């Protein structure tokens, strides 16, 4: 009967230890997933706009190159047609042709202006994304802090201090003084020196941060 009870207690303790680890992992997953969802929702429309603007800028660049190659010939052809219309006495039609030639000549400059607008907007988008990232982080950080400090309290105050008090009380009742506490407390109860747990704890609490 005692063996069965001890086995049951061992199983319960193991299950609780695993549950604690699972709770911390779940809390961490919730934190990261919430942050990433918020950031994705904030930057998705900005990323889409930026991609569209970059595509437009690339198209304008290609169109401008092609237009600049054809422009001299178009100007000559427009001038030829305008001269023919003037000789035929069609002054208004000739003026239309000359205006078309002038508009074509101004097109590359207009394209350059649009590309400048696009570049300015892309810079603004990057600034908006950085601002969104900062805002999301500032709202996310207190949630991380609450979970971490609850875990700290549970580990250091409730568990470690509680176990130390329980050991002290137990040994006082057993009449062993502090012999077992000195032997087992810091050397064997927590993770050994240079372990991943020890290194992480030193980085956060031992002056490494």
Average pLDDT score over residue span 101-129: 88
Contact 167, 180 (CB under 8 A): yes
Query: pLDDT: is 17 or 119 the higher one?
Result: 119
Is residue 5 assigned to a domain?
no
Is residue 28 assigned to a domain?
yes
Asked if the model's pLDDT at residue 56 lies above 90, the reply is yes
Average pLDDT score over residue span 48-76: 86
Predicted pLDDT of residue 126: 97
Q: What is the pLDDT of residues 75-108, one digit of tens each?
A: 777 777 777 777 778 778 777 777 877 777 677 8
Please state, in angstroms and rounded to a whole number, the distance separating the CA atoms of residues 95 and 102. Answer: 10
Predicted pLDDT of residue 167: 80
Q: How many domains does the chain have?
A: 1
Query: pLDDT: is 140 or 72 the higher one?
Result: 140
Is residue 13 assigned to a domain?
no
Q: Which H, E and C letters describe the chain, residue by residue?
A: CHHHHHHHHHHHHHHHHHHHHHHHHHHHHHHHHHHHHHHHHHHHHHHHHHHHHHHHHHHHHHHHHHHHHHHHHHHHHHHHHHHHHHHCCCHHHHHHHHHHHHHHHHHHHHHHHHHHHHHHHHHHHHHHHHHHHHHHHHHHHHHHHHHHHHHHHHHHHHHHHHHHHHHHHHHHHHCCCCHHHHHHHHHHHCCCCCCHHHHHHHHHHCCCC
Owning domain of residue 155: 19-177
Predicted pLDDT of residue 5: 45
Predicted pLDDT of residue 203: 87
Average pLDDT score over residue span 20-28: 92
Is residue 172 assigned to a domain?
yes
Is residue 196 assigned to a domain?
no
Residue the block writes with tokens 């304008």: 60
Is residue 198 assigned to a domain?
no
CATH number at residue 126: 1.10.287
Q: What is the pLDDT of residues 125-183, one digit of tens each?
A: 999 999 999 999 999 999 999 999 999 999 999 998 888 888 878 777 776 655 666 66
Is residue 197 assigned to a domain?
no
Predicted pLDDT of residue 151: 93
Is residue 105 assigned to a domain?
yes
Please state, in angstroms and rounded to a whole number, the distance separating the CA atoms of residues 78 and 104. Answer: 10
pTM over 0.85: no
């Amino acid at each position: 009967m005692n063996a069965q009870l001890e086995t049951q207690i061992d199983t319960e303790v193991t299950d609780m230890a695993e549950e604690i680890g699972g709770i911390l992992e779940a809390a961490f997953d919730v934190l990261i997933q919430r942050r990433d969802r918020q950031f994705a929702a904030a930057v998705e429309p900005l990323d889409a706009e930026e991609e569209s603007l970059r595509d437009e800028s690339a198209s304008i660049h290609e169109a401008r190159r092609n237009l600049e190659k054809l422009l001299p010939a178009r100007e000559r052809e427009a001038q030829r047609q305008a001269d023919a219309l003037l000789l035929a006495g069609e002054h208004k039609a000739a003026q239309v042709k000359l205006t078309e030639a002038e508009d074509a000549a101004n097109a590359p400059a207009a394209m350059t202006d649009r590309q400048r607008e696009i570049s300015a907007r892309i810079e603004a988008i990057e600034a908006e994304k950085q601002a969104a990232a900062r805002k999301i982080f500032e709202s996310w950080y207190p949630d991380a802090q609450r979970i971490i400090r609850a875990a700290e309290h549970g580990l250091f105050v409730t568990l470690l201090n509680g176990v130390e008090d329980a050991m002290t009380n137990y040994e006082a009742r057993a009449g062993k003084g502090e012999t077992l506490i000195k032997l087992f407390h810091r050397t064997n109860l927590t993770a050994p020196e240079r372990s991943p747990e020890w290194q992480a704890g030193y980085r956060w609490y031992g002056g490494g941060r």
